[in-house]
Amino acid sequence: MTAEIIDGKAFAAGIREKVAAEVARVKAAGVTPGLAVILVGEDPASEVYVGHKHKATVAAGMESFEYRLPADVPEAELFALIDRLNADPAVHGILCQFPVPDHLDERRTVARIDPAKDVDGLSVVNAGLLATGGDALTPCTPLGCLMLLRDRLGDMSGLSAVVIGRSNLFGKPMAQLLLRENCTVTMAHSRTRDLDQVCRGADILVAAVGRAQMVKGDWVKPGATVIDVGITRVPHPDLPGKTRLVGDVDFAEAVEVAGAITPVPGGVGPMTIACLLANTLTACCRTHGLPAPEGLTA
């Protein structure tokens, strides 16, 4: 039996349409949601993502503001920009693309962003709200995974969920979201013993380790839902000089065992951008006391 392949690209397109419809509604109420993206330095991969974000933002009817700062920008200058955006009523979401150059500190940078505009959901305030059951802005990639899981599984109560990876950006918030769905959650990581065995117990297996094709087919419980958050560029096996994207899961093996699985590309990645738009809309609605859009939040 081969797994159902979860089409994140199509699902994300649906979310983006929903966002666009809601944007039209808040515009009619006199507000245009705006997203500001800050890119420090010239990382080629980041350039591509920022380009995608800009296009998607505009396509949803929102305002997109882009700021490119030189790689050696002093912290004070970056912070002055963030302060300006915090105070700007046309800006409802602020995202500083990571990684930032070594002389800057991600924690200090996130802390500078107004938590009400922190559409990455990375601030201490939003992480704390998520952990304590409040109305947080939820990190985009975990939110996207949650939407895919809800769509496939509906009620997740009592299911065993294993998240591999414990980053602040993904693993920790993902575990919190699964816990809120009443899963029994295990957080696994690089020091976990007998990781393969731990994974075999999972009804929901979420891989976010950043190691290409690490999760093998025999790590997967038959019928499990597998969410692959990894994205690594590797040399193409058949085309010399070419590359391709792979996830943290050995897809060819896992697809034979799982009940459903997200591909890479076309799985979680497109959901991340769709959820960034959703979060910007949510932030805008909360700021203006408008009803929060349904189905677009955790």
Ligand X SMILES: Nc1nc(=O)c2c([nH]1)NC[C@@H]1CN(c3ccc(C(=O)N[C@@H](CCC(=O)O)C(=O)O)cc3)C=[N+]21
How far apart are CB 268 and ligand X at their closest, in Å?
A: 7
| Residue 97 is among the residues annotated as catalytic for this protein | yes
53 is catalytic: yes
- Strand 93-96 and strand 34-40: the pairing is parallel
DSSP assignment of 195-233: HHHHHHT-SEEEE-S--TT-B-GGGSPTT-EEEE---EE
Our CB check for ligand X shows the closer of 185 and 271 to be 271
- Among candidate residues 97, 176, 213, 228, the one labeled active-site is 97
Which residue, 67 or 98, has its beta carbon nearer to ligand X? 98
- Give the binding site for ligand X (CB under 6 A): 49, 52, 95-98, 120, 140, 231, 245, 264-266, 269-270, 272-273
Alpha carbon of residue 293 to chain centroid: 18
Cβ-proximal residue to ligand X, closest one: 269
Min dist CB 245 to ligand X, Å, is 6
Contacts of 47 (CB under 8 A, 6+ apart): 39
**Minimum Å distance from CB 132 to ligand X?**
23
Per residue in 35-72, is it b (16+ CB within 10 Å) or e — as a string?
Answer: bbbbbbbebeebeebbeebeebbeebbbebbebebeee
Is 64 or 272 the residue whose CB approaches ligand X more closely? Answer: 272
Phi, psi of 292 (to 5 degrees): -70, 140
Tell me whether residue 185 or residue 264 sits nearer to ligand X (CB atom): 264
Residue 122 CB, nearest distance to ligand X (Å)? 7
Is residue 231 annotated as involved in ligand binding?
A: yes
Please give the C-alpha separations between residue 202 and each of 70, 150, 164, 219, in angstroms, as whole numbers: 45, 16, 11, 9
Start-to-end CA span in the chain (Å):
32
Nearer to ligand X, 79 or 186 (CB): 79
**Smallest distance from ligand X to CB 37, Å:** 9
Backbone φ and ψ for 49, nearest 5 degrees, come out as: -60, -45
The yes-or-no answer on residue 120 being catalytic is yes
- 167 labelled as ligand-binding? yes
Three-class SS state of 101: coil
Active-site residue (options: 18, 118, 120, 228)? 120
- DSSP letter (8 states) at residue 34: E
Hey, which residues are catalytic here? 53, 97, 120
Binding-site residues sit at: 165-167, 231
- Which residues are annotated as part of the binding site for NADP(+)? 165-167, 231
